[in-house]
Amino acid sequence: MSTGLAERNVESKLNMKDWNKLERSGRLMKRNEARMLIKPEHTNRDVYIIKKGSVAIYHANNMETPLAVLGANDVLGNRSIFVHENLYAKTITNVELIQLDQASYRALYLSYPELAIKLTTELSRLKLIIDFPERTANSFMKQVKSGIQNWVNKTTGKKGRYCHNC
C-alpha cells in the first residue's frame, strides 16, 4: 500500500498473565469511535494497551491518511512515539484500553520488569513504523540480521584465517 498505512502483525504479544498484571496495574478505559485519544498538546506520559477495537495514528498535516492503525494487543503512548510534535491518536472503532499513567508504569516496571520490557519494545517498534513508513519492523530487523550475517561471513572466511602467507 502506498498510503503509508503500516501493517501490524496480528499475533498476540501479550498472554493471559500479562493482561492480568496490566489490569491490576492500570485503569480500564472505554472510548467511543472517532474520539481523540492523544493530541500533541497532551503533556502526560501515559501508556495505552488496546484490549479491543482500533486506533489510528495521524500526522497533523494529513488527518485523512493514517500513519498506522493499531488493534488489540498493540501499545501506544507518549513515552516514545509522540515525541513528534504533530501526531494524533484517534479511535476508529469503540475501544477498550488499559491506561498506565506515569506512576502506574513505574510500579509495573518495578513489579514486572519483563512485562515493562515487552511494552517498551512494542512502543519502540511502533516508533520505527512511524519514522520509516516504507518499512515494517520485521523487514528492518531482517535487513539488520542480513547485514550482520554478511559481516560475519566476511570476517570468518578462509582467506587470512587459515593461510599464514596472506
Is the confidence at residue 59, as pLDDT, over 90?
Answer: no
- The identity of residue 42, as a single letter, is H
7-44 confidence digits (pLDDT tens):
444 455 899 999 999 999 999 999 999 999 888 777 77
| Residue 63 pLDDT | 86
- Pick from 13-22, 84-93, 134-143: least confident: 134-143
From 34-48, 49-63, 126-140, the region with the lowest mean pLDDT: 126-140
CB atoms within 10 A of CB 5: 14
Higher pLDDT, 152 or 77: 77
DSSP for 96-114, written as a single string: EEEEE-HHHHHHHHHH-HH
pTM for the whole thing? Answer: 0.71
